Amino acid sequence: MRKKNAADAADAAFCARVAEGFVEPGDAMPDGYRATLIRQMSQHAHSEIVGMEPEGNWITRAPSLRRKAILLAKVQDEAGHGLYLYGAAETLGTTRAEMTRQLLAGEAKYSSIFNYPALTWADIGAIGWLVDGAAIINQVPLCRCSFGPYARAMQRICKEESFHQRQGFEIMLALARGEKAQREMAQNSLNRWWEPTLMMFGPPDGESRHSAQSMRWKIKLHSNDELRQRFVNMIVPQARYLKLRVPGSPKKDRRTGDYSYGPINWEEFRNVIAGNGPCNRDRLRARKKAEEDGKWVREASAAFAKKHLERRAA
């Protein structure tokens, strides 16, 4: 009983601490807080890196030099986001090598959305518009989360995500103003990406095992369902502007101003995060190949760093 009271008091003290300002890497923190951050930040970093795959495939097939240059810059930004996030997670005592090992062993998750294929050029528009749009809704609040290195990484990432969403919307706009076949391609992409994008926000609040504690610690500032609703409210008017039909024909609640959505196939979501989505195996195969192909670069830079240190010491 005495032990439980002491644990409750320590927890209450830490919750008061996070309300005061950023927690920094050298500060005292509960083991659970550290572990939750490492889990979320490493999953987030893996999502950025795996997220390069569906779009990377389209760089050589983008319809013009301008589109290629923009897509190339976007995919490079995602590599950068992954690196900021791995770096921020490393301040908590883990290593990039260990996080990568967990990803390749299937122990760490990455966003469910990247287990779906990008079949047409319109899918690149839909990814930018919807997936990066969802990322912004989820990540802007993270700029104010309690852990300093994560919050600061998110500030820079969010600026770049705004550019990503605009490039996606602009692709959709060009298609929506194009010929019948282009409009159909845009509609078909929205139909396929809508539900998987809604799943990005995580399971419904009643089934989210980490939300309550993460919100107490200000690792998360809003629940999964709150952010999902914000996203729907943002996208429905944009889809109308594009003259595209959002699946499920959202209706506006006059009282709350919220648009309806769903139902969402949560069985499919559970299946995808268990490793059985349409592209899970391809995505991990590509990461394993990249890890193998990059081995000599890591070895060469480690040998160079060692030589450099030895020379300095001499």
Residues at the site binding ligand BYC, with contacts judged by CB under 6 A: 39-40, 43-44, 47-48, 51, 78, 109, 111-112, 131-132, 135, 138, 199-203, 208-211, 214, 220, 224, 273
**Minimum CB distance to ligand BYC smaller for 138 or for 146:** 138
Determine contact, residues 111/81, Cβ cutoff 8 Å: no
Q: How far is the CB of 164 from ligand BYC (least distance, A)?
A: 6
For ligand BYC, the nearest residue by Cβ is 51
Q: How far is the CB of 66 from ligand BYC (least distance, A)?
A: 20
In this structure, the dihedral spanned by the alpha carbons of residues 43, 120, 240 and 175, taken in order and rounded to 10 degrees, is 130
Reading phi first (left if > 0) and then psi (alpha if -120 to 50, else beta), residue 243 is in left
**Minimum CB distance to ligand BYC smaller for 138 or for 187:** 138
**Minimum CB distance to ligand BYC smaller for 160 or for 291:** 160
Q: How far is the CB of 227 from ligand BYC (least distance, A)?
A: 7
Determine contact, residues 63/121, Cβ cutoff 8 Å: yes
**% helix / strand / coil in the chain, to the nearest 5?**
70, 0, 25
**Minimum CB distance to ligand BYC smaller for 128 or for 250:** 128
Give the angle 176-180-184 at the CA atoms, nearest 5°. 65
Q: How far is the CB of 131 from ligand BYC (least distance, A)?
A: 5
Q: Rounded to an integer, what distance in angstroms lies between the CA atom of residue 171 and that of residue 126?
A: 8
Map tokens 């301008």 to a residue: 66
**Minimum CB distance to ligand BYC smaller for 141 or for 250:** 141
DSSP 283: H
**Minimum CB distance to ligand BYC smaller for 51 or for 250:** 51
Q: How far is the CB of 309 from ligand BYC (least distance, A)?
A: 35
Q: How far is the CB of 43 from ligand BYC (least distance, A)?
A: 5
10's enclosing H/E stretch is helix 2-20
